[in-house]
Amino acid sequence: MSFANHVIIFLVAVPLAVAPVISLLRVRHLPWLMACITSLFVFVLSIQLTQSVLHSGDVTYALGSWPAPYGIELRAGALTAMMTVIVSGVSTMALWFGRYGIYVEVGEQRAHYFYAAWMLVLAGLLGIAVTGDAFNVFVFMEISSLATYVLIAGGPDRRALTAVLKYLIMGTIGATFYLIGVGLVYMMTGTLNFADMEIRLADVENLRPVLVAAGFITVGLALKAAIFPLHVWMPNAYTYAPSAVAVFLSACSTKIALFILLKFDFFVFQKNLAGHDVQFSWFLMPLAAIAIIFGSAVAINENNIKRLLGYSSVAQLGYILMGASFVTYLGLSGGILHIFNHALIKATLFMAVACVFYRVRSAELKDFAGIAQKMPWTMAAFVLAGVALIGVPFTAGFTSKWLLIKAALEAGVVGYLLLAVVLIGSLMALVYVWKVVELAYFKPATADLSRVSEAPLMMRIPLWIMVLMTLYFGIDPSYPVRLANAAAVSLLGHLS
């Protein structure tokens, strides 16, 4: 068997194996360099996996050559491949970007432990994406969650500890709910393999425990995904985490939970529970609409820019959820494409904010007054990413919102209401992005900025690579659109 056949297992095994090695490295910059190389290597493998999926269909891998459902199976379709590209790509850029900031915020003495925890988060998130086994999702979820608590608490702000405690409590409740749900499904089917569950549930006569399981799993994963109104842990976690960690988590952690929610619902429940697609729509659609309006409204009134971006994420997750709740080809394509676009845009925005934070040591909006004169490249990047977040044409955010609008127009009267929500949400995004731009460009400085200069070149290069990718995928979105369309076809294929 060639190396190409093992790509999917290397995605998880490599960062998992490298983590303990990094924790032993005490030479300055060597832990960072090894983490960067590992993350880049995994990103290249993700691209290779994506190409295989697009050309040859789903990729499967039986651990130890034990066939599923008796052995552990790894499986990658279009949606999985997209998630691996997002996780590994953002991880690589965030590590490169965070070289200076991590040493300042975490400290040189603890940096090697910090990078080891980063590798565990990377391995855990990729493991969740590629495993075909519901219990192993829980295992990888715990690996990534425990390591994430370490990353968030690693910063100098002691308020991170209370943010981590809240995240730990909510995350533990979410994981417990998920495990209870999986246990109930296992009790009824005798299997933990997703594909096997789908087949065996068709023969189950008493579906009441399965309905209960669907409720536990949905609520558990909604907590992990910070879906409104279960989002309370997220804004503070992003606010007090080290800047590079906020870049990584804002793009990946909630979206991987949403990915599992979609996978479980469409692969296991939709076909086997009568009317589940309607229940799925009518339960999640109102939450998505409220999330868009509520998240945007709170973001408008926030005075801390990291919390502003955190509540903006609550709204943007609403767009993804809305697309999924249509349970149509266009809706799913739009929602899945927005996972990709939002990861790119939000990581870019957090990078720009981190550049300013690195110079002025504050994330309060009032300290951004007049900053554009001192940091023109950084604020120009923020403006372009903000424009993409609003959904202006020729930026990445436009294509996914356009697909969501088309899906809403297909949905009749309810669709018109949702169309209004999408448009109002975009206008509200314009308001909170403009709030930052107005302060940075048109207000006189209220703090002493005489010693403030542009962010280091090594921070601006990855920042602007992300900006250029945001613009590129706005002009030519064919690659992510192809993946999103293939993922939508795959999910809907389980309903027939």
Owning domain of residue 326: 292-495
**pLDDT > 80? residue 2:** no
Q: Which pTM does this prediction carry?
A: 0.94
- pLDDT for res 268: 87
With cut-offs at 50, 70 and 90, classify the pLDDT of residue 4: low
| pLDDT confidence of residue 131 | 93
pLDDT in tens, 202-248: 888 888 888 899 999 999 999 988 888 888 888 888 888 888 999 99
Task: Output the pLDDT for position 248.
Answer: 92
Strand partners, 133: 193
Which tokens sit at 297?
């409204």
pLDDT for 65 beyond 90? no
pLDDT in tens, 152-175: 887 777 787 888 888 889 889 999
**Average pLDDT score over the chain:** 90
- Cβ atoms of 344 and 251 within 8 Å: the answer is yes
Q: Is residue 243 part of a domain?
A: no
Write the pLDDT tens digit of every residue in 410-447.
Answer: 888 888 999 999 999 999 999 999 999 999 999 888 77
pLDDT of residue 231: 86
Backbone angles phi, psi at 60, to 5 degrees: -120, 155
Residue 375 is assigned to a structural domain of this protein: yes
Is pLDDT at 380 greater than 90 in this prediction? yes
Does 396 fall in a domain? Answer: yes
Residue 355 in any domain: the answer is yes
Per residue in 337-346, pLDDT tens?
Answer: 999 999 999 9
In whole angstroms, what separates CA 417 from the centre of its chain?
A: 27
The verdict on residue 459 lying in a domain is: yes
Helices and strands of the chain, counted as H and E runs: 20, 2
Task: Give the span between the Cα atoms of 137 and 60, in whole angstroms.
Answer: 16
Domain count along the chain: 1
Q: Regarding beta strands 59-62 and 73-76, do their DSSP bridges make them parallel or antiparallel, or are they unpaired? A: antiparallel
**What local confidence, expressed as pLDDT, does residue 471 receive?**
95
Check residue 99 and give its pLDDT.
Answer: 86
